[in-house]
Structure 1
């Protein structure tokens, strides 16, 4: 048993190294082609085009196709109207394949009431429906409805069946199974095809109507003209049906039949899927040794596909070990998955769609933590739960965030840390409330979504009824079309006039926009000038307070020295007061002079240090003048001044990346909360004028120059002591 576990883990690691290190010897490219009748030169639509590597597509209404191949592969063309044709790919040039008619289908196509132009529009609409299928169901359905309108009252039934099948695929993707079944059944009534039958059977299987699914598939087993990919899908669905019926032996037999066809035709994705499903079936029947072998096969085969497929198989193997309580092996696989997931560098918004909801960093961390908890290793579990919570919050995954927070509270309770357990449980309750609100919103959206779908489906049903009732009006429609063509010239002039009017409107809108932007710029400049004029008196007032302090102590020498440094500072401040931005090097010199002045007044209250990254060229960055001084002033006057022991003030300048740097102002004073408690009632009513001006200046400058400066303030320590101000400054483009 131990050796088989080590064998599986070794296969996982080998598969990962193959995926992320392999270089394909035969580079793939997209081959374009056309299939047409040899006798009439009319395009043949619906031709099944497959490759020896498992790629599959159908020709569109113009007989055109695109498929991913490599040099030396065989193309297999199959259709009911001609014998199977094989063609070897020898170059990357576009190909034209002519086939010999064996039925009247091509003549029917050439005599079809749908013109070539209409056929092009029809296929374009179906292509558009496919493009929007995943992201915009309403728009996708609307394109299908338009395609049915293009067919007209005497439209070809084959094309009508294609539209209905596409509509069923849209509903199937969005889990509107009843509507999907209705449209697949209507499509089969118009034209029976293998592809639509397989889709209907799959939908029946998903909805648990297993007997109906079997009734659809059994006749297909007798067909001889199925392409290999479709036959593999046939056996796969039959296997799924038997597995759900818990008839494991029959399920495995069907899966193995599909695996034979896939292996013979080198359909790599299906080879991986079927090995994985055989493993699932054995695991369901508690035949664990057989399940391990097939899981190993699926991982090894997935290593020859894209990296995401390997991760999916690894997670299935990890789940398998979890069910067997073999947590050490599970944890090792999931940790490796985390590393490979980071290497993939998939954007957060694409992870769920590309890998599935279960293969995310937050969920994998949560599962690792659960494996540790199952072994009573609470200390090891806590960091993974914390990472899961942080990542789930970042990715807006409330479900995982809620579960991880609840589990973390339980772990703290097991450890006897009841304060943290209570605090974490309160976070869990808050997340449950948020999730409840979100679920209510989702239910409301789903109800509205269903109403919209019902309305759209009613429109399509109406189109079908109208099509049936309009057969007798077809000749009239042709006459109207001729009249429409005669009036085309007049309509063209109207369209040109409308376009010209739109151009004039667009030009007027552009000048209005430019005028508005210029006015906005002038307003911003005026506001900046006003704020700068407020900033200088504020700074002078605060600085003169320090001079007054020396005079009150009769310390003439210190007052003179302070006034000398102050005059240098004021001269520089006044010189820069009219500028939006000054060199960062000059601002740092002014800042150091200001801190020196404050330190000379409070030498026993704090020490300071200014640290600039040696590799950073500060002369390439610009910063608003007097931006940092109010934050330094707050750190000294409201943080360090009230500290009982001597404090420390640090200003660090470091590079964040090639075009950004960070300025960090850190003090270990009493903190913002305690400072607020020490303020008088009058001080609490007033906001810092300098800080207010800074915020307004940053907002205006970012609006004018595009988010050049950002500021964030946080506590230095968890107990509220100390303050940390982080400035992020972007380089001029």
Structure 2
């Protein structure tokens, strides 16, 4: 039945009521339990098993009273959906009780709605699709016709990918309901080719399974698990995997996936799925021979089904009764089938005629027949006869020739077994008559089914041909403008010539740019070579000074100290040589190198100075790079020319401070004698060596800044007014 919706917010006081609710999705001081109800507008009767969901959050379903409760916050979007009506979206504005009223929509109202929306193409497309879904389970031909109208209603040359996706997904739904799974697969694929949606992919996987394409279905289900699914969709996918593995008799995998689905359904309180999955778990365990486990799950499904609607409870009783029959527990089977018989009579939606209704196990004739079979299996022939006679009467009244045939034959066999051969012969004669009637009816049904399939295929071809017709119309449209295009051809040629000239000019500019780039690359290569040359000059200078230190220890006959110093020195040399071929190393490595060097100098001059190295913990030392051995000469000058000549013990401080995420400041300060006094104390040879070392550093920094746009900025100043103490500040940039 098609429904239109109007949502009204009512303030009510709830007296105690049972709800089907979802799991708490968050712990927030702003969250609250939203309560509501879904009812039909005309009769005010509640609607159960409606899906209630918070977008990206909690999930619930309505109970038998149509009521629900769900954890929400102000501003959340409430999604109310069911197969029987169009999905409703409602933004939560307050904590008031929400009532969703459903208005009956007749076929005439649908037609009026179509007429009212003729000037709104998008609304018209949507209305036709809604009409198609309304007739989906009633009239397949009419439902497909509405899809055709929906696509024809789209203005312009072609429908949008979204519209095509919706149309073909709906067409696949029609095929699935009427058992045409091969067509359903084709249409779901076309829907996905226009726009990929999770719902269409889940339906396609299910159609693969029903069409015995098990491996394709299993692969698609597994791929879906990697997608961003809602909790309900995850349950559907795991359930589909369980169904597929059960179909190929892989019962272990089937149980595993059913259990995952059941855990999710219980966690999020998706009540209908909990019932179905308990039932399916029972079926799998029954097939595997685990009778005790099967009975445990079937007991759960029976109890849960009783809390849903009557039809669901009756369906589950019939299924469990079949389980007891397979395990020859005929007393329990008969008890359940008698209960089923009594409840069938009270079902509001129970059909009394028609092929679809008679094929269902929930008919009086089938239940009576199965009860009789249970008695026959126990050789209680007298008890079986009344049920067989009831089955025959009900089958005859409902024109169910299949059950009438089976029951009549069984009755003949029962009379034969108890020795009443006259009644056995009479029943057998009736059985032969029913077989003849059934044969004729089956031929008619086969003919009708063939015509039905042909009609469906023809109507679907009309939808497929719509795109071809649109392409033909587009071709006609192009032909109408051919003359105009011929007139404009000369203009296009002129434009082409002008474009060619512009292209030639661009090529010349490009050539000039390439030459300019080559010059810059050559200059860059020269700079790299100069840096490498300066870097190679640094290493001998550094090694020479270090070896002098070793020599002083040896000269003083301090062999043990010399050995320890040599050990640390070799570790430093290894690091220096490893980095000697690198243009840049990480700031972390430079700090490690510096720490090792200062340690060695302090080892030699420990009575001359103390030192601290402070690294800001916020600095990402692995993200900044620096030329190797850039900082060491400044530290060496501070020790050898500032602190070494100081009479009292001095201090060396090295700090790494983060200015921002792209810049680091490096401060090397000492309270030594200062640059002026140091120069006065130096010999001519020392002045020459110092000038060469510092000049080397200045050249390296100049080349770096030219290549990398002021990557390093260095300033050297006196700390104290008497020109003692030296402060070296380096600004290092990340890029």
Q: TM-score, normalised by structure 2?
A: 0.52
CA contact (8 A) 2:245 2:251 kept: yes
Taking the aligned partners of 1:89 and 1:392, their CA distance within structure 2 comes to 54
Query: The residue matched to 1:344 in structure 2 has which SS?
Result: coil
Query: The residue matched to 2:225 in structure 1 has which SS?
Result: helix
Taking the aligned partners of 1:282 and 1:420, their CA distance within structure 2 comes to 42
Residue 161 of structure 2 is aligned to residue 157 of structure 1: yes
| Corresponding residue of 1:125 | 128
Q: State the Cα distance separating 1:446 from its structure 2 match.
A: 1.5
| Corresponding residue of 1:240 | 243
Q: State the Cα distance separating 1:249 from its structure 2 match.
A: 1.6
Taking the aligned partners of 1:349 and 1:458, their CA distance within structure 2 comes to 35
Query: Which digits, 9 at most, give the CA deviation of each residue in 1:530-572, with x for residues without a partner?
Result: xxxxxxxxxxxxxxxxxxxxxxxxxxxxxxxxxxxxxxxxxxx
Aligned with residue 173 of structure 2, among 169, 173, 180: 169
Q: Taking structure 1 as reference, are residues 327 and 351 closer, same or farther at Cα in structure 2, changes over 3 Å only?
A: farther
Query: Which digits, 9 at most, give the CA deviation of each residue in 1:130-189, with x for residues without a partner?
Result: 111112111110000111112242322111100000001101111112211111111110
| Corresponding residue of 1:404 | 407
Residue 219 of structure 2 is aligned to residue 221 of structure 1: no
Residue 320 of structure 2 is aligned to residue 313 of structure 1: no
Residue 59 of structure 2 is aligned to residue 52 of structure 1: yes
Aligned with residue 70 of structure 1, among 68, 71, 78: 68
Structure 1 segment 546-695 matched on structure 2, within 5 A? none
Taking the aligned partners of 1:189 and 1:255, their CA distance within structure 2 comes to 30
CA contact (8 A) 2:37 2:100 kept: no
Q: State the Cα distance separating 1:94 from its structure 2 match.
A: 7.1
CA contact (8 A) 1:55 1:267 kept: no
Taking the aligned partners of 1:281 and 1:88, their CA distance within structure 2 comes to 46
Query: The residue matched to 2:61 in structure 1 has which SS?
Result: coil
Taking the aligned partners of 2:193 and 2:393, their CA distance within structure 1 comes to 53
Q: State the Cα distance separating 1:68 from its structure 2 match.
A: 6.3
Taking the aligned partners of 1:227 and 1:472, their CA distance within structure 2 comes to 44
| Corresponding residue of 2:96 | 90
Q: Taking structure 1 as reference, are residues 453 and 352 closer, same or farther at Cα in structure 2, changes over 3 Å only?
A: closer
Q: State the Cα distance separating 1:28 from its structure 2 match.
A: 3.1
Q: State the Cα distance separating 1:303 from its structure 2 match.
A: 1.5
| Corresponding residue of 2:37 | 28
Aligned with residue 287 of structure 2, among 280, 284, 289: 284
| Corresponding residue of 2:301 | 298
Taking the aligned partners of 1:250 and 1:87, their CA distance within structure 2 comes to 45
Query: The residue matched to 2:393 in structure 1 has which SS?
Result: helix
CA contact (8 A) 1:72 1:89 kept: no
Taking the aligned partners of 1:385 and 1:132, their CA distance within structure 2 comes to 38
CA contact (8 A) 2:38 2:100 kept: no
Taking the aligned partners of 1:375 and 1:303, their CA distance within structure 2 comes to 29
Query: Which digits, 9 at most, give the CA deviation of each residue in 1:313-357, with x for residues without a partner?
Result: 111111111001111111111112112223335554389868971
CA contact (8 A) 1:31 1:93 kept: no
Q: Taking structure 1 as reference, are residues 123 and 205 closer, same or farther at Cα in structure 2, changes over 3 Å only?
A: same
Q: State the Cα distance separating 1:126 from its structure 2 match.
A: 0.7
Q: State the Cα distance separating 1:53 from its structure 2 match.
A: 2.1
Residue 199 of structure 2 is aligned to residue 184 of structure 1: no
Aligned with residue 268 of structure 1, among 267, 271, 276: 271
Taking the aligned partners of 1:261 and 1:398, their CA distance within structure 2 comes to 44
Taking the aligned partners of 1:199 and 1:220, their CA distance within structure 2 comes to 11
CA contact (8 A) 1:48 1:227 kept: no
Query: The residue matched to 1:151 in structure 2 has which SS?
Result: coil
| Corresponding residue of 2:234 | 231
Taking the aligned partners of 1:475 and 1:121, their CA distance within structure 2 comes to 28
Aligned with residue 327 of structure 1, among 326, 330, 335: 330
Structure 1 segment 416-565 matched on structure 2, within 5 A? 416-470=419-473
Aligned with residue 339 of structure 2, among 336, 341, 346: 336
Q: Taking structure 1 as reference, are residues 156 and 438 closer, same or farther at Cα in structure 2, changes over 3 Å only?
A: same
CA contact (8 A) 2:381 2:414 kept: yes
CA contact (8 A) 2:234 2:261 kept: yes
Aligned with residue 253 of structure 2, among 246, 250, 255: 250
Query: Which digits, 9 at most, give the CA deviation of each residue in 1:203-233, with x for residues without a partner?
Result: 1100110011122222210112x22222111
CA contact (8 A) 2:358 2:400 kept: no
Taking the aligned partners of 1:454 and 1:357, their CA distance within structure 2 comes to 27
Taking the aligned partners of 2:441 and 2:219, their CA distance within structure 1 comes to 41
Taking the aligned partners of 2:350 and 2:219, their CA distance within structure 1 comes to 43
Taking the aligned partners of 2:285 and 2:94, their CA distance within structure 1 comes to 40
Residue 373 of structure 2 is aligned to residue 366 of structure 1: no
Larger Rg: 2
Q: Taking structure 1 as reference, are residues 354 and 450 closer, same or farther at Cα in structure 2, changes over 3 Å only?
A: closer
Q: Taking structure 1 as reference, are residues 436 and 23 closer, same or farther at Cα in structure 2, changes over 3 Å only?
A: farther
Query: Which digits, 9 at most, give the CA deviation of each residue in 1:649-689, with x for residues without a partner?
Result: xxxxxxxxxxxxxxxxxxxxxxxxxxxxxxxxxxxxxxxxx
Structure 1 segment 130-141 matched on structure 2, within 5 A? 130-141=133-144
Q: State the Cα distance separating 1:435 from its structure 2 match.
A: 0.4
Q: State the Cα distance separating 1:127 from its structure 2 match.
A: 0.9
Higher RCO, 1 or 2 (CA under 8 Å, sep at least 6)?
1
Taking the aligned partners of 1:23 and 1:70, their CA distance within structure 2 comes to 10
Q: State the Cα distance separating 1:88 from its structure 2 match.
A: 7.7
Q: TM-score, normalised by structure 1?
A: 0.52
Query: The residue matched to 1:70 in structure 2 has which SS?
Result: strand
Q: Taking structure 1 as reference, are residues 256 and 52 closer, same or farther at Cα in structure 2, changes over 3 Å only?
A: same
Taking the aligned partners of 2:294 and 2:223, their CA distance within structure 1 comes to 31
CA contact (8 A) 2:188 2:204 kept: yes
Taking the aligned partners of 1:374 and 1:406, their CA distance within structure 2 comes to 15
Query: The residue matched to 1:444 in structure 2 has which SS?
Result: helix
Q: Taking structure 1 as reference, are residues 347 and 270 closer, same or farther at Cα in structure 2, changes over 3 Å only?
A: closer
Taking the aligned partners of 2:427 and 2:273, their CA distance within structure 1 comes to 45
CA contact (8 A) 1:49 1:78 kept: no
Taking the aligned partners of 2:199 and 2:283, their CA distance within structure 1 comes to 26
Taking the aligned partners of 1:348 and 1:94, their CA distance within structure 2 comes to 29
Query: Which digits, 9 at most, give the CA deviation of each residue in 1:39-74, with x for residues without a partner?
Result: xxxxxxx99799732369xxxxxxxxxx96536565
Taking the aligned partners of 2:474 and 2:55, their CA distance within structure 1 comes to 32
| Corresponding residue of 2:572 | none
> How many residues get paired?
411
Q: Taking structure 1 as reference, are residues 303 and 351 closer, same or farther at Cα in structure 2, changes over 3 Å only?
A: farther
Report which stretch shifted further, 191-200 or 211-220.
Answer: 211-220
| Corresponding residue of 1:522 | none
CA contact (8 A) 2:286 2:294 kept: yes
CA contact (8 A) 1:141 1:456 kept: yes
CA contact (8 A) 2:238 2:260 kept: yes
